[in-house]
Amino acid sequence: MGPTSANQQPARFVWCMSREAKDTLADCATGANPPKIKAAPAAVVIGMDPDFHEQLPWLFPHTDARSWFEGDPEGRMDHAFRNSSLQGAYFLIAARAIGLDTGPMSGFDHAKVNAAFFADTNHKANFISTLGYGDESTIFDRSPRPDFETFNRIV
């Protein structure tokens, strides 16, 4: 239900459910991330389609929105990144709202993930996340969230 600009919906989700897919994704991850991916019941690649505008005739039928983005690959990348990040965030919040845990990660080799999961497309990885129930003996308590005054101002 979360919105995206002109209903672009550029996110392309790849759900890694098989042992093989999770191992492949883990091999692309860095630092402490690989074992988390291997242990999770599911891991998700939140990717983005830089050619999302091709879908706009049915996703945003009110007007010819496709033409706004034609011939502007740089602008499309900007929109794809912004809106797929939003969609990824909607996914994280929705999963947490129903009691699941998510482990979002940016610690991975983008070129490797693109080659492993998007080889036959021009889609690009934005970030990845595990999905399941965290092992409380190995995860941190919730880190602080700032109160309103800390990072906001009313002008």
Ligand X SMILES: Cc1cc2nc3c(=O)[nH]c(=O)nc-3n(C[C@H](O)[C@H](O)[C@H](O)COP(=O)(O)O)c2cc1C
- Residues in touch with ligand X (CB under 6 A): 32-33, 104-107, 127, 142-143
- From 25, 31, 50, 39, select the one nearest 127 (Cα to Cα): 25
Q: Which CB atom, from 14 or from 65, has the smaller least distance to ligand X?
A: 14
CB of 44 to ligand X, least distance (A): 12
Q: What are phi and psi of 97, to 5 degrees?
A: -65, -25
* In contact, 125 and 45? CB cutoff 8 Å: yes
Q: Which CB atom, from 60 or from 108, has the smaller least distance to ligand X?
A: 108
CB of 55 to ligand X, least distance (A): 25
Give the Cα separation of 83 and 58 in Å (integer).
Answer: 18
Residue 141 DSSP label: P
CB of 108 to ligand X, least distance (A): 7
Q: Which CB atom, from 104 or from 132, has the smaller least distance to ligand X?
A: 104
Give the Cα separation of 86 and 93 in Å (integer).
Answer: 10
CB of 25 to ligand X, least distance (A): 13
Sequence letter at residue 16: C
Segment (H or E) for 116: helix 110-117
CB of 126 to ligand X, least distance (A): 8
β-strands 124-132, 11-16 pairing: unpaired
